[in-house]
Amino acid sequence: MADIAEDWGVDVDRGPDWLFLRLRPGKQEPEGVADKLWSLADRHFVYRLVLEMNDLDVLPSRLMGQLVVLQKRVLQRDGALRLCGLTDDCAQAIHFCRLDSALPNYDCREDAVMGKRRPQMTCAN
């Protein structure tokens, strides 16, 4: 597990042409997450990212801003940034900020890679 912010971590799993990053939240507000995640992508030379958000109960506004920064960087490299595993409350927060097209949420990593929003039955939890 790598550290991406003070007391925040990330599990990194590499698939063909995709990097899967499972965020492990800490108790502090996340700082510099976009830079750290970008560094991981750059180190692996992979700019198609799936952020697995299953462990987040809330989505801090600072993290949401960092995800927008990361998404812009990824697009500059013709990559993709997709989220999966958001709670309903976190997905609703993204929707209220009108970021659901910029930060699309999927049920699981397989659906995120395929760009498939439903049905949920395809995902093994």
State the Cα–Cα distance between residues 113 and 50, nearest whole angstrom: 8
Query: What are the phi and psi torsion angles at 40 (to 5°)?
Result: -65, -45
Q: How many domains does the chain have?
A: 1
CATH number of the domain residue 11 falls in? 3.30.750.24
Q: pLDDT tens digits, residue range 32-58?
A: 889 999 999 999 999 999 999 999 999
Q: pLDDT tens digits, residue range 57-110?
A: 999 899 999 999 999 999 999 999 999 999 999 999 999 999 989 999 999 999
**What one-character DSSP code corresponds to residue 61?**
H
Domain containing 41 equals: 2-122
If one counts every other C-beta atom within 10 angstroms of the C-beta of residue 16, the result is: 7
